[in-house]
Amino acid sequence: MSVLGTKKFWKPAAGASANQKENQILKNAGYINLQLRTVNYMSVGNFWQSTFGGKDKIALATTLKYQSGVESIEATSVQDVREVKVNKNYNLGLQRNIAVKIPANADAISIEVKMTAVKNDSLQAKFDMLNQPEYQSALQLAPTVVGQVLTITSLVKKLFTDSDPNTQLEASYAGLISSQQEDNPVSNGKLTRGLLIMISTNDGDPFISVDESKFELRGDTLYYNNKQVENTYLVFNISFDQFKGDDEKSNWFKKYNDALNNLDKIQLVQDQNEISKIYSDSKTMWIEGNALLDADSTYVNKERVQIKNLAISSIQEKYKSITTPTQPVSFLNATDILKGLTGSASFRTIELALPETGNYLNSSFDIDPSMPFDNSLLESLESDKNIDDMLMKDKGVYLESLKKQNLTFKLGKK
């Protein structure tokens, strides 16, 4: 990362391990959050002073690029527009979310920051318009949001093209997301939890030999070795969550809810054939919900499997609770449930998502964890009850994990 004399440093978040390896973000392990924590602009000794003098209006924008295979999504937002004087040090603060719970299934995520002087009144009005909360929303990968993101990105890029390119300050960083931990991921360009510090050396370079542990954020201000950093700098906070939880607005959540609500019809009928049909309809809705969830790119594979298990377990529990002892309970065969859960996921994903069930399957068969699970193996399993019990335990582990992160799952709750 080096654009127009910019240096990059990394520091663990407060209270976190200082070990880079333990903070490295691994592919498909969870969700990435990026926050523009603070921005400092120093006018002394750089082109702003020599070009303008007096006061000037500046605009700050960020671009986040999500790169996964051939898919690439860019989100550009104007983060700040303000008037500044030369010969002064400005701390913009900000604390803006650039991305919230982006699945770590990308190959890389790159961050770019641009600052430009706005000399044209027409351009200033456009920058001011885009410097509004509704146009600064964090990147999400939901299709309806992506369309809005692309439109705003195009508008902001056009504004920077129309500005004088000689008045722009740029800094960028590309973080790769890999499957294996490394001893020094930051120096190898791998995305790592903590504070990413970008310092412009156009203001002078007192950072020839740096002990990164001596960087410290006091409020919104960066210090090095107990002295305030006066260069232009940007600090990003990169954090990580293992789980996302539910999405009540998604089509798959609504389909799972429909499956649960459909079971209420059982209380209005007595005929066993009719009861079986109602249950079969709910099972079909669960399968349809699975397909919708598989198409939701905002989730990692591990949590998709966990959500599918939670949904079918909830359907099973409700079915048992509303059928009477005199009514035969013929709920879905456990091996059929497993077929719905595994899909095209690798066995390693299943082990991580459903540890109880995964351990049982691993002890029963000779499995290559990197390959999709062979569902034909399930035909030889004899004890459905054991599998059903293990799936219920795995559901409980998932819900407990959500609870620890203050997340809930409202499926079936009115």
The predicted-structure confidence for 87-120, as pLDDT tens digits, reads as follows: 777 788 888 888 889 999 888 898 888 877 777 7
* pLDDT above 50: residue 3: no
CA dihedral angle for residue 352, residue 358, residue 362, residue 367, rounded to 10 degrees: -60
Tokens of 113: 């920051």
* pLDDT above 70: residue 46: no
Q: Which residues on neighbouring strands pair with residue 131, listed in sequence order?
A: none
For residues 193 and 11, give the distance between their C-alpha atoms in angstroms, rounded to a whole number: 9
The sign one gets for the Cα dihedral 117, 198, 101, 13 is negative
* pLDDT above 70: residue 261: yes
Residue 312 near residue 286 (C-beta atoms within 8 A) = yes
For residues 194 and 210, give the distance between their C-alpha atoms in angstroms, rounded to a whole number: 17
Q: What is the pLDDT of residue 330?
A: 52
pTM of the model: 0.84
- Averaged over 328-351, what is the pLDDT? 72
- Averaged over 361-384, what is the pLDDT? 75
Helix (H, G, I), strand (E, B) or coil at 242: coil
Q: What is the pLDDT of residue 45?
A: 44
Lowest mean pLDDT, pick from 119-123, 236-240, 376-380: 376-380
* CA 102 to each of CA 65, 163, 204, 251, 290: distance values in angstroms, whole numbers, following the listed order: 11, 31, 36, 19, 20
Q: What is the pLDDT of residue 384?
A: 60
Going by pLDDT thresholds of 50, 70 and 90, the confidence category of residue 347 is confident
Tokens of 381: 């399993």
* CA 352 to each of CA 29, 79, 102, 146, 251: distance values in angstroms, whole numbers, following the listed order: 9, 38, 19, 30, 25
* pLDDT above 80: residue 20: yes
Tokens of 201: 């050396």
Residue 134 near residue 87 (C-beta atoms within 8 A) = no
Q: What is the pLDDT of residue 53?
A: 58
Q: End-to-end distance of the chain based on CA atoms, in angstroms?
A: 50
Query: How many percent of the chain have pLDDT more than 90?
Result: 31
Q: What is the pLDDT of residue 332?
A: 59
For all residues of the chain together, what is the average pLDDT? 83
Between 290 and 383, the more confident residue is: 290
- What letter represents residue 228's amino acid? Q
Going by pLDDT thresholds of 50, 70 and 90, the confidence category of residue 214 is very high
